[in-house]
């Protein structure tokens, strides 16, 4: 990591003067951001980019700008009188044991546990479900500030394990190998791993990596030439075998996997940089000497294919080919024939997995999970009943398992792990949690539906304290994502209680672009149709106001990454609907997102400015390019110095432009986290960041928070 990145100061920095921006702007003075005369031409349209220099994350001038912006932001936050008490309350709420579902290798069960406020979860192992847990790895000891993350991928017999290490929230990983029995790290070290798992096969594993990036540009350089390698335990990375690469198509992902019996190596290839949503799929029989990949799906199109399991020499796959809602099929390589095992249903297939000789499948019914158990030939055996409307996941395991674990959660139902016994077909609570000061029956969750601009029926989940009065005065936070075929599922957040107990309504909107209603729903929020996503969110805000849940003076919005783009676009289009906005790590420059790290991978969803028609659509809503000289709501932009997925330059340029053109009195601030990435790199940073967001919302929505006993302080 280049020490100059963002925060290192230099004598060569330009001198930044401080000026007032807009009209008064709550008497805030923002750092002057130098403008340059830079213009790009897209298909005959000239587009100015006056803050292009902020894309240089190694520039001393950028570092000085970051320091100056953070100084203004934290000075503002520090003046909020209840900021410290909010943080204390969130620490109370978050201070409960968090335990992940166990996963089995042989007789050993591994699981992660966080005692409450540990920066990283600790990995444990025990023999059998009644054994005594022992610590395998504690990543909290790997760095003084707890910003080093752990991933753990054991071999089939749990003799060895790949230990993935990522620092300060970066997507880059370094792989090491552990002797599980002795807990000793071997000399193996594999570098520049990204978009990869570790697929064990005998005494080694397959993984994906990129060539080493230019020194000093590790967090911003475009990642190209994704390669698959095989590493044998006890050897150096220099001895690794190159398994697959495609230099002619440098912006493809090549992802390797192995079947549970380790007989087959699977190669999944996607080309989203060329706007294709699907993938091709190949296999190689590792029992044969010939190292040849055989196609299951030879060409990349818009259909997706994923291996669920192999049944001998045949493959169970989940696909949306000819089935926008998804289905499970059986493919026979010898005859090249496909047959439906679980035909497409009216509800979209959420996921499928095998365990204990059964096929488990989950479906979405109006964004809530329905789970079923089938025989391997697709005969329905029973439904796994959920505690209520909510989100469930898991249901995978080994072929000789007698039971599986799954987790369930909802907006007012804390994450709970259930054990499903395959023989008796019964579920029981395996582990549940208790949140300090939280009583689920004091809160109400409901699902509502509204019509978007074009008449499309869109769902939204609401959670709030019981007894809510529909008088238009309730502070409300809207959240949305709407992209990349990802479902915004109703799920619990202990930190969110800090809002709910202070009278907030939390609204989670299920816009088009996600997978809530299958591939057609996803497609309706992509490329030339992306405006549908913003229209859905705007319609949700209008519904909340019309139905007296809140008003424009009490309404805020929040979203991260693609959701940050959502907030930025909606802020430009309907600033009158909101009092405050918090776009987090957002994709804000829709004309240049594909120029950095793996941004090219998003072209399948967004389109590209290199295409004339797609440029027109992108330019019409790109947050940076549609900021006007008007009154904007209070806005807190957040990003982080180690975000190498959505590089900080997006937020830097957006903040500079918004500060320049703000003509209202509301603050426009940017909070730039250190040693963190696309998400918080540890528990402390997660709580600190959330506390600052909540303080900003309380301050700008006119809410004085009271947190139980803290109301007396």
Which one, of 200, 42, 258, 146, lies nearest residue 685 by Cα? 146
Task: Answer with the residue of higher pLDDT: 106 or 373.
Answer: 373
> Is residue 347's pLDDT more than 80?
yes
Structure tokens at 129: 């479900």
Residues 155-188: tens digit of each pLDDT: 999 999 999 999 888 899 999 999 999 999 999 9
Q: Degrees (nearest 5) of the Cα angle 477, 478, 481?
A: 140
Residues 541-575: tens digit of each pLDDT: 999 999 999 999 999 999 999 999 999 999 999 99
Structure tokens at 539: 């319609």
Residues 6+ apart with CB under 8 A from 488: 367, 479, 480, 481, 482, 508, 509, 510, 511, 514, 516
Average pLDDT of span 354-371: 98
> Is residue 708's pLDDT more than 90?
no
CA–CA separation, 457 vs 638, rounded Å?
32
Are 93 and 501 in contact by the 8 Å Cβ rule? The answer is no
Residues 6+ apart with CB under 8 A from 639: 584, 585, 646, 648, 650, 651, 652, 670, 671, 672, 673
pLDDT of residue 211: 96
561 a catalytic residue: yes
Q: What DSSP letter does each residue of 62-130 carry, written as one string?
A: HHHHHHHHHHHHHHHHHTSTTHHHHHHHHHHHH-S-EEPPPEEETTEEEEEEE-SS-SSPEEEEEESTT
Express as a percent the part of the chain with pLDDT over 90: 89
3-class DSSP state for residue 620? Answer: helix
> Is residue 712's pLDDT more than 50?
no
Q: Pick the catalytic residue from 410, 452, 678, 681.
A: 678
Residue 692 phi/psi, 5-degree rounding, is -70, -40
Q: Pick the catalytic residue from 561, 608, 609, 651.
A: 561
Residue 9: which pLDDT band, with cuts at 50, 70 and 90?
very low
Alpha helices in 560-648 (DSSP H): 562-573, 603-606, 612-621
Q: What DSSP letter does each residue of 252-317 carry, written as one string?
A: -EEEEEE-TTS-EEEEEEE-GGGT---EEEEEEETTSS----EEEE-S--S--EEEEEEETTEEEE
Are 202 and 709 in contact by the 8 Å Cβ rule? The answer is no
CA–CA separation, 444 vs 540, rounded Å?
19
pLDDT of residue 21: 37
CA–CA separation, 365 vs 648, rounded Å?
37
Structure tokens at 280: 């091709």
Cα four-point dihedral sign 512, 514, 517, 521: positive
State the average pLDDT for the chain: 93
Residues 6+ apart with CB under 8 A from 455: none
CA–CA separation, 296 vs 293, rounded Å?
9
Structure tokens at 72: 């203004």
pLDDT of residue 219: 86
pLDDT of residue 432: 95
Average pLDDT of span 223-234: 97
Answer left, alpha or beta for residue 250, where phi above 0 means left and psi between -120 and 50 means alpha. alpha
Structure tokens at 653: 């340029």
678 a catalytic residue: yes
Residue 1: which pLDDT band, with cuts at 50, 70 and 90?
very low
> Is residue 4's pLDDT more than 70?
no
State the CB neighbour count (10 A cutoff) for residue 448: 15
Are 353 and 401 in contact by the 8 Å Cβ rule? The answer is no
CA–CA separation, 555 vs 577, rounded Å?
7
Task: Answer with the residue of higher pLDDT: 211 or 644.
Answer: 211
Average pLDDT of span 683-701: 97
With tokens 């497409």, the residue in question is: 344
Of the listed ranges 129-138, 236-245, 639-648, the one predicted with least confidence: 639-648
Residues 117-138: tens digit of each pLDDT: 999 999 999 999 999 999 999 9
Residues 425-467: tens digit of each pLDDT: 999 999 999 998 899 999 999 999 999 999 999 999 999 999 9
Residue 220: which pLDDT band, with cuts at 50, 70 and 90?
confident
Residues 278-331: tens digit of each pLDDT: 999 999 999 999 999 999 999 999 999 999 999 999 999 999 999 999 999 999
Are 581 and 623 in contact by the 8 Å Cβ rule? The answer is no
CA–CA separation, 22 vs 663, rounded Å?
4
Residues 411-423: tens digit of each pLDDT: 999 999 999 999 9
pLDDT of residue 711: 37
Residue 710: which pLDDT band, with cuts at 50, 70 and 90?
very low
Residues 71-121: tens digit of each pLDDT: 999 999 999 999 999 999 999 999 999 999 999 998 899 999 999 999 999
Express as a percent the part of the chain with pLDDT over 70: 95
Residues 6+ apart with CB under 8 A from 376: 311, 316, 341, 354, 357, 358, 359
> Is residue 530's pLDDT more than 60?
yes
CA–CA separation, 537 vs 539, rounded Å?
5
CA–CA separation, 630 vs 574, rounded Å?
11
Answer left, alpha or beta for residue 268, where phi above 0 means left and psi between -120 and 50 means alpha. beta
> Is residue 26's pLDDT more than 70?
no
Beta strands 668-673 and 634-640 are parallel
pLDDT of residue 674: 82
């Amino acid at each position: 990591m280049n020490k100059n990145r963002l925060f290192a100061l230099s004598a060569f920095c330009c001198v930044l003067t401080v000026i007032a921006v807009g009209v008064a702007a709550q008497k805030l003075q923002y750092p002057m951001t130098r403008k340059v005369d830079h213009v790009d031409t897209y298909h005959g349209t000239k587009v100015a980019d006056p803050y292009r220099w902020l894309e240089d994350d190694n520039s001393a001038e950028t570092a000085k700008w970051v320091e100056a912006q953070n100084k203004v932001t934290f000075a503002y936050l520090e003046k909020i009188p209840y900021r410290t008490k909010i943080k204390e309350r969130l620490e109370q709420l978050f201070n409960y044991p968090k335990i992940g579902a166990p996963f089995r290798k042989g007789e050993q069960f591994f699981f992660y546990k966080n005692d409450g406020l540990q920066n990283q979860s600790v990995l444990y192992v025990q023999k059998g479900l009644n054994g005594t847990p022992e610590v395998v790895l504690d990543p909290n000891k790997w760095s003084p500030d707890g910003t080093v993350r752990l991933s753990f991928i054991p071999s089939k017999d749990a003799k060895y394990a790949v230990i993935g290490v990522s620092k300060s929230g970066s997507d880059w990983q370094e792989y090491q190998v552990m002797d599980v029995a002795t807990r000793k790290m071997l000399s193996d070290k594999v570098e520049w791993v990204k978009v990869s798992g570790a697929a064990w096969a005998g005494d080694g594993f397959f993984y994906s990596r990129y060539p080493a990036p230019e020194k000093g540009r590790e967090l911003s350089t475009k990642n190209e030439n994704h390669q698959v390698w095989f590493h044998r335990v006890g050897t150096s990375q220099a001895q690794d075998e190159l398994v697959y690469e495609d230099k002619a198509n440098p912006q493809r992902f090549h992802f390797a996997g192995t079947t549970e019996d380790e007989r087959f190596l699977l190669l999944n290839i996607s080309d989203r940089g060329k706007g294709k949503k699907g993938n091709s799929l190949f296999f190689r029989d590792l029992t044969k000497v010939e190292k040849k990949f055989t196609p299951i799906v030879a060409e990349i199109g818009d259909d997706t294919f994923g291996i669920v399991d192999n049944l001998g020499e045949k493959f169970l796959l989940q696909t949306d080919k000819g089935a926008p809602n998804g289905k499970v099929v059986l493919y026979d390589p010898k005859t090249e024939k496909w047959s439906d095992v679980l035909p497409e249903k009216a509800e979209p297939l959420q996921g499928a997995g095998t365990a204990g000789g059964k096929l488990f499948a989950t479906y979405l019914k109006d964004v809530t999970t329905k789970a079923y158990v089938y025989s391997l030939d697709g005969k329905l055996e029973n439904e796994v009943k959920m505690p209520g409307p909510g989100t469930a996941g898991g249901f995978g395991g080994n072929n000789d398992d007698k039971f599986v674990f799954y987790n369930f959660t909802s907006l007012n139902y804390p994450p709970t792990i259930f054990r499903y016994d395959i023989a008796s077909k019964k579920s029981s609570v395996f582990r549940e949690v208790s949140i300090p000061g939280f009583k689920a029956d004091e809160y109400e969750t409901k699902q509502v539906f509204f019509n978007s601009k074009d008449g499309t029926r869109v769902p939204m989940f609401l959670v709030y304290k019981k007894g809510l009065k529909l008088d238009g005065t309730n502070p409300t936070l809207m959240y949305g994502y709407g992209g990349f075929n990802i479902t915004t599922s109703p799920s619990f957040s202990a930190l969110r209680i800090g809002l709910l107990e202070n009278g907030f309504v939390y609204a989670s909107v299920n816009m088009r672009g996600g997978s809530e209603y299958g591939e057609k729903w996803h497609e309706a929020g992509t490329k030339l149709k992306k405006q549908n996503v913003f229209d859905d969110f705007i319609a949700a805000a209008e519904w909340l106001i019309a139905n007296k849940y809140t008003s424009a003076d009490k309404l805020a919005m929040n979203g991260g990454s693609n959701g940050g783009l959502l907030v930025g676009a909606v802020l430009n289009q309907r600033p009158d609907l909101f009092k405050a906005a918090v776009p987090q790590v957002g994709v804000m420059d829709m004309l240049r997102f594909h120029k950095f790290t793996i941004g090219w991978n998003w072209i399948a969803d967004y389109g590209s400015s290199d295409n004339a028609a797609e440029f027109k659509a992108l330019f019409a809503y790109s947050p940076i390019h549609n900021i006007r000289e008007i009154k904007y709501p209070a806005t807190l932009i957040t990003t982080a110095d180690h975000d190498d997925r959505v590089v900080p330059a997006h937020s830097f340029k957006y903040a500079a432009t918004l500060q320049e053109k703000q003509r209202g009195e509301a603050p426009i601030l940017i909070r730039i986290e250190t040693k963190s990435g696309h998400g918080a790199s540890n528990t402390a940073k997660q709580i600190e960041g959330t506390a600052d967001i909540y303080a900003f919302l309380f301050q700008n929505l006119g809410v004085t928070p009271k947190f139980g006993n803290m109301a007396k302080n």
